Chain A
């Protein structure tokens, strides 16, 4: 099977979805690129190259460059979706949710409910998310933990190229609005990705590792670090379940609870700050549904309650490391 990077896998999914369904179009800043300039229109394909080639393959009506106007981009996607299109909008960095939150939360996410179930808004908004690039405080946030709090939106976080393709194709075919967070540090990471189209349903976690001693739940770029931690502990005879929920809304709560009931120990890993985030949410879930199975306190491995720093040394201290995950797994096993 061919190896593809996450960027190429997402790009392939976009090409295939647009070829399959002429109601699918992409819209965002520089998704084609060079409009109005001397350069060749379509030669950018997004700042991370994820939409490369779409302009040449599908033309200006389906690969649409916009001004830097995030609210208008999300609103345009939402409005087009309300009248039957399947737009895939790109918001360059997840941090920019700060300037288009109303259109995402109050508009797109609430139409169906406010309108008594009589509308559908099959829009996808893609974001490059998370840290690892020394991109500092306004270009490094994960944001998916915040957006998980809002009913009406689905929130998806792929952790590898294979999942990214299947989850994005599901997102585009899905009839509800979907926020699709691409951990940008993983764009170059490759794995086996089939050429054919396939979908991965939301709310179905992946068991990345299976073991007996500890349940580890991790999201996005933390999945790879947690897997490395678990593999390192194998030499000491420690085995862990590693669950990648893949979507935080809907969340595969049953998979997590079943695992915790078997292992009795839970470590939750995310790169977001701790308060009101996914790690706290899942810890509360275990306290509610698996309290009597727990043999040790639930531990959260996440960023500190701080903005993301710039300096590489500081960022390395900020984002949870494989060593911190190892230490935390060892800690819960001592209890």
Chain B
């Protein structure tokens, strides 16, 4: 499948934006500028972008605790996101959500989600709405290898098949459920086969390769959008950081992180392919790199200068309308 040049440039820009966003967030956390628990997506960028390149604003995604990449890939405003991570009232969620709850309904982002496998049931609901309304939308849930052992994930996959809704389950296997390897945590030998046992096709991708994810996701999304019920994407990937920022990563093999950054970097792979095929010049990618770095710089400067929330905002936005005499 050939991808138009503009789309290639956009995909590279998105992956690069996610990478630089995450690496800068890491630095700002280490500098004590960002509070709370943060889970970085560095290394997995091709998954979010390879999927979201097939979606438009009316389609929905729901994400995970490791959600920055999915939100950027689906079109979230990078500056609003950075402000949110800094806890500003100008953030995408007014500083109420932070890293684990970035959302933008207008962009079809039903939220990052702090509960492992919290998202798939909700995504099935969005897909059910699409089926009832017959509007051709699809609902994508991203989750990780940790999610596939949660009951909510099983319930959501089964319900999606039973109701034949256009739900796409994207499982990013980064091999570690927090600090425990999938070899220990998944009891069966073949996770793809186990997932297919629910009754929908699962398309496998190399999560370090944008083109591989793009192809697999294209098949899954086409299957769901055509009214054939749910589909899955199964991508093997690697996170370049720990489960959270500050994770000592005692589970890593010697040299594992170096190998990941060297061999499983989607940006390097993308550039190598462009060098081979000439579809896009490396100079144009260099140009994007410069622009992305400037954008992230602007985002951090804006976040540092953005308004702080006021104490009187603490209990705002709980309800749309609540009783006036609530005790």
Evaluate contact between A71 and B325: CB separation under 8 angstroms.
no
In order of increasing CB-CB distance, the 6 nearest A-B pairs are A75-B121, A203-B323, A79-B125, A250-B323, A253-B327, A117-B317
| A114 touching B103, Cβ below 8 Å | yes
Instruction: Tell me whether chain A's interface is mostly helix, strand or loop, or mixed.
Output: mixed
* Residues of chain B in range 259-286 having any CB-CB distance to chain A below 8 Å: none
Closest partner residue, chain B, to A245 (CB atom): B327
Interface string of B75-101 (1 = CB under 8 A from A): 000000000000000011111110001
| Cβ contact of B152, chosen from A27, A71, A111, A255, cutoff 8 A | A71
Contact A115 B101, beta carbon cutoff 8 Å = yes
B158 near A72: Cβ-Cβ < 8 Å: yes
A328 within 8 A of B: no
Binds B, one of A58-66, A207-215, A294-302: A58-66
Instruction: Find residues 11-53 in chain A having any chain B CB closer than 8 Å to their own CB.
Output: 25, 27
A151 in the interface, Cβ–Cβ < 8 Å?
yes
Please tell me if A307 contacts chain B, counting CB pairs below 8 Å: no
Distance in angstroms from B186 CB to nearest chain A CB is 20
Q: Report the separation of the CA atoms of residues A112 and B101 in the bound assembly, to the nearest whole angstrom.
A: 11
Q: How far is the CB of B272 from chain A (nearest CB, A)?
A: 39
Q: Which of A78, A84, A107, A249 contacts B326 (CB 8 A)?
A: A249
Number of interface residues of A (CB under 8 A): 60
With A69-B158, A116-B95, A119-B103 already in contact, the answer to whether A107 and B318 are too (CB < 8 A) is: no
B residues bordering A, Cβ < 8 Å?
A: 60, 62, 91-97, 101, 103-105, 110-111, 113-115, 118, 120-132, 139, 151-152, 155-156, 158-159, 162-163, 315-327
A175 to B319, CA, bound (A): 9
If A72-B121, A72-B152 touch, does A120 touch B325 (CB 8 Å cutoff)? no
Extra 7 A-B pairs, beta carbons < 8 Å, given A115-B96, A116-B91, A118-B105? A75-B125, A76-B159, A102-B115, A103-B152, A113-B318, A114-B96, A255-B325
Chain A nearest CB from B286 CB (Å) reads 37
Whether A115 and B162, one on each chain, are in contact in the complex, defined by CB atoms closer than 8 angstroms, is no
CB distance from B85 to the nearest CB of A (A): 13
Contact between B115 and A115, CB atoms less than 8 A apart: no
- A116 / chain B contacts, CB cutoff of 8 Å: 91-97, 317
